[in-house]
Every structure is written in structure tokens, then in C-alpha cells.
């Protein structure tokens, strides 16, 4: 166990390379199950715990994984050796359920434990299952496992998602790539990570129309081939560091970040006084040197404000002028960081799915505990701006989604270290 110690009050300045997107890399890795040819991935955030976990899951199914350099991995599922994803593997990470669609499409059978992950809501997989049933699969839930069968293969059909689900869109999209005939995904997620998966599938031989819209049309292929694909930059990491510049009154160059991936975020940052502009290398984020303005925000599917940046934005608003109202519409338990921010002096009142934040003139360092991945990032931002020392416990949450966060911030002037946690 380790902890992160932060001495707050330093304006950040420097360059931060933005890693490949974890939320894009995971479905791309799962897509290796769709072919017996090698899939070469680059710009992979391969030091993250979630990447290592999914590699272990895939190896269990017979995928050979080979690190071919920094941020590069080759995956080859020459033969599926096991179509069952056991609880002991899947419970560590919810995204492991993404093996369901590819295994079913290629083998005609899959048995996958119900997923685990962060404690930020129930996040049921019913839309995954309904989508696969629309392609002809028969599914039963048995002793905590999803048992899916399509002995004659999957058949194209129309899948209508009643609400946006990134994971369900990705799972059904991969399955449809090997289904007979044409599949229409209506109400599909439009997130950049979904688009990245679709582009990789096309490089593997799939035919997909409507990428970037909420209606995807997939013409199934008899088989897919290998491909080489570079993972897109992590928009959530980029947004986190842009807010770090804002909360410290600093200036950061975010190397590789793309403005097109952050439309709802950049608009909101401009509203509160954090200037983000494009340059030749990515984005430059600059705090105005004073107190940010208060603003209201509601989390929404892409292109709206992402739920994965809600905790970080709340940290920024704890020091804003006036009152901010933050409404969470995606996950029902994603305000677990509020009580930890209050330990640092934040003034926040939670009313159901809404948090009302009254900005203070300062925060005080305190021992705090991370409850999930993005909450931990929000607490790091608060610590960077607080007076005195903040000690963050349970940093293993952070390791699931941020590559070398301590090193990147320290290189830009933050007084931040990682130490053994004897407590």
C-alpha cells in the first residue's frame, strides 16, 4: 500500500505528455479476440493496472500478449482456449465484460462472470445482453455468470439502446462485426473511445457506417484480419491536467491532447476562467492567476460534460467565487469524494443527484481517502491548491487510470511524492 503526499500552494508550469486513453485501449484489446491474426496496438497506457488486468483476462482465453516497446503491445488469439471468464479475474475490473461480445461472435459461446469495478453505482449490463439477444444469442444468468450461446453464429439485426451506454455499444459493435448480415445500432454512444474502436475494426476488415453519430450500421464480415492501430490520447487525463492548471493558477502544455475530444469541457473551463487553446503540440491550459468563476455543470454523454471529470471540476469549484451547482446524471453514487473535500474545508451540500458548492477562499491540507478512480484525481487537484499537506490514501484507485501522475506533476513544479503507507 502506498500514499501520495502533497504540499499545496504551488502554481504548475511545464509540459505534460498525455497518455493513450485507457477507456479506448481496453475495448481495443478485447477486439483481439475477433481474429486469429495479430493486433498491434501503440500509444497504449501499458503501465496502468487496468491494462495489466485485462491482459491477464485475455491470456486466460488463449490470447498471446507481447510487449514490443514502450506503449506497444501485440495480441494474438490464434486459438480460443477458454470461453469462460472466471469471477476471480472479472471482479477486479468492470471492463472485463467486454470479452463477452467477441467471444460469443467467434466461438458461439461465452460464459462471463458478472463484472466488478469501482463502487460508483450498480451499472447493470442489461443493455449489453439485450443487444446480443437482438443478434440471435440466447442468454441466461446462472450463479453469477452470464451464459451466452449462438451455436449457429450471430445474425445482424436492429439494436435500439433506450439510453446511452458506452460499454454496451462497444460490446455489441464488436459482436456485430462478425455477425451475418447487417446490424443497426440506434442510440449508440458517440464517445471518441467508441469511434476509436470502430476505426480499428475497420482496419481489421469490418465495414461500419455512421462513425461519430448515434446510428452505427455494421455489415458483418465472415472473418477479420489483424491490424496496427494507435490508441487515441486520453481526453480525461487532458481535462484533469487542464483543471490542475486552473486550480493552481498555473500554465501547462498538454502534449498530444485534442480539443475536438473535449467540446463540453473546454466550453465550461472558458466559463470559469481557465483558458485552453490549441497549439502545434496539443493544448495549452492557463489559469487566470486569481479565483475561478462559479459555474453550473450537468454530466452528460458525449459531447456533453463527462462524468469522469465531475470530481475534478468539483475540486476546482470549491475555490470559485459564488455558488456552483453540479448535477450527476450518469452514476448514482459518484459523490463519494464530497465528504473528503469537506475534510479539507470545502462547503458542499448534496441533494440527491445534485451537489451545491459554495466557493471558499482556501482549502486546508488533510488526510483523505480515495473512493474511486476519478475521485482520487479530484482530491489530488484539491491537494495541489490547499494550504499545508494533503495525504491521499488508497492510491491504487489512481493507478487504474493515470500513468505516472506523480512524476508528471512533479516535473511541472508540484511538491508531490509517493511513499509507503504504513497505516
- 50 belongs to an annotated ligand binding site: no
Distance CA 215, CA 223 (A): 23
- 173 belongs to an annotated ligand binding site: no
Closest CA to 261 of 248, 273, 278, 275: 278
- 357 belongs to an annotated ligand binding site: no
- 94 belongs to an annotated ligand binding site: yes
What DSSP designation does 291 have? Answer: P
Sort strands 389-393 and 367-369 into parallel, antiparallel or unpaired.
parallel
- 126 belongs to an annotated ligand binding site: yes
Pair 297, 268: CB distance under 8 Å: yes
**SS3 at position 146:** strand
What DSSP designation does 21 have? Answer: P
CB-side exposure of 235: number of CA atoms within 13 Å?
A: 25
- 48 belongs to an annotated ligand binding site: no
The rounded radius of gyration (Å) of the Cα atoms in the chain is 21
User: 280: how many CB neighbours lie within 10 A of its CB?
Assistant: 4
- Under 8 Å CB-to-CB from 88, ≥6 apart: which residues? none
Closest CA to 356 of 313, 320, 326: 326
Sort strands 347-351 and 354-358 into parallel, antiparallel or unpaired.
antiparallel
Distance CA 213, CA 211 (A): 6
- 22 belongs to an annotated ligand binding site: yes
Q: Which residue has the cell 473551463?
A: 269
* Catalytic-labelled residue, pool 5, 118, 195, 412: 118
Cell of 55: 491482459
User: 52: how many CB neighbours lie within 10 A of its CB?
Assistant: 15
Sort strands 297-298 and 215-219 into parallel, antiparallel or unpaired.
unpaired
Per the DSSP assignment, residues forming a β-bridge with 254 are: 16, 283
Cell of 69: 516497446
Cell of 216: 452505427
- 330 belongs to an annotated ligand binding site: yes
- 208 belongs to an annotated ligand binding site: no
CA distances (Å), origin 344, targets 266, 296, 338, 358:
27, 22, 10, 14
DSSP H or E segment with residue 62: none
Active site residue 195: no
- 281 belongs to an annotated ligand binding site: no
Question: Which residues participate in the annotated binding site for phosphoenolpyruvate?
Answer: 22-23
Question: Which residues participate in the annotated binding site for UDP-N-acetyl-alpha-D-glucosamine?
Answer: 94, 123-127, 308, 330
Q: Catalytic residues, which ones?
A: 118
Amino acid at each position: 500500500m502506498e500514499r501520495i503526499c502533497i504540499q499545496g500552494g504551488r502554481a504548475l508550469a511545464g509540459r505534460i505528455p498525455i497518455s493513450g486513453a485507457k477507456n479506448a485501449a481496453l475495448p481495443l484489446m478485447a477486439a483481439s479476440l475477433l481474429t486469429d491474426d495479430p493486433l498491434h496496438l501503440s500509444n497504449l497506457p501499458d503501465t496502468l493496472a487496468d491494462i495489466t488486468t485485462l491482459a491477464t483476462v485475455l491470456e486466460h482465453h488463449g490470447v498471446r500478449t507481447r510487449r514490443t516497446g514502450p506503449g506497444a503491445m501485440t495480441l494474438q488469439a490464434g486459438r480460443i482456449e477458454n470461453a469462460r471468464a472466471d469471477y476471480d479475474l472479472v471482479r477486479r475490473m468492470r471492463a472485463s465484460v467486454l470479452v463477452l461480445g467477441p467471444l460469443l461472435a467467434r466461438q458461439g459461446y461465452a460464459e462471463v462472470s458478472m463484472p466488478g469495478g469501482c463502487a460508483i453505482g450498480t451499472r447493470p449490463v442489461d443493455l449489453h445482453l439485450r443487444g446480443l439477444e437482438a443478434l440471435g444469442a440466447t442468454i441466461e444468468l446462472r450463479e453469477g455468470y452470464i451464459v451466452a450461446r449462438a451455436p449457429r453464429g450471430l445474425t445482424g439485426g436492429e439494436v435500439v439502446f433506450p439510453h446511452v451506454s458506452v460499454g454496451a455499444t462497444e460490446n455489441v459493435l464488436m459482436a456485430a462485426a462478425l455477425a451475418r448480415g447487417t446490424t443497426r445500432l440506434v442510440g449508440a454512444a458517440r464517445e471518441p473511445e467508441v469511434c476509436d474502436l470502430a476505426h480499428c475494426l475497420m482496419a481489421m476488415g469490418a465495414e461500419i457506417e455512421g462513425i461519430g453519430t448515434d446510428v452505427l450500421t455494421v455489415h458483418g464480415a465472415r472473418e477479420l484480419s489483424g491490424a496496427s492501430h494507435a490508441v487515441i490520447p486520453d481526453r480525461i487525463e487532458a481535462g484533469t491536467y487542464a483543471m490542475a492548471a486552473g486550480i493552481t493558477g498555473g500554465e501547462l502544455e498538454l502534449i498530444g491532447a485534442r480539443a475536438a475530444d473535449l467540446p463540453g469541457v473546454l466550453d465550461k473551463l472558458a466559463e470559469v476562467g481557465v483558458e485552453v487553446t490549441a497549439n502545434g503540440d496539443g493544448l495549452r491550459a492557463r489559469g487566470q492567476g486569481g479565483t475561478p468563476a462559479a459555474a453550473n455543470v450537468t454530466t452528460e454523454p458525449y459531447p456533453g460534460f463527462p462524468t469522469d471529470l465531475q470530481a475534478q471540476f468539483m475540486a476546482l469549484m470549491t475555490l470559485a467565487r459564488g455558488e456552483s451547482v453540479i448535477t450527476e446524471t450518469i452514476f448514482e453514487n459518484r459523490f463519494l469524494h464530497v465528504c473528503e473535500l469537506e475534510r479539507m474545508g470545502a462547503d458542499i451540500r448534496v441533494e440527491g443527484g445534485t451537489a451545491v458548492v459554495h466557493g471558499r477562499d482556501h482549502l486546508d491540507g488533510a488526510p483523505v481517502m480515495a473512493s474511486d478512480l476519478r475521485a482520487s484525481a479530484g482530491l489530488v487537484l484539491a491537494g495541489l491548491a490547499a494550504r499545508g499537506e494533503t495525504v491521499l490514501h488508497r492510491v491504487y484507485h489512481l493507478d487504474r487510470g493515470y500513468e505516472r501522475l506523480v512524476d508528471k506533476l512533479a516535473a511541472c513544479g508540484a511538491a508531490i511524492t509517493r511513499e509507503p503507507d504504513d497505516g
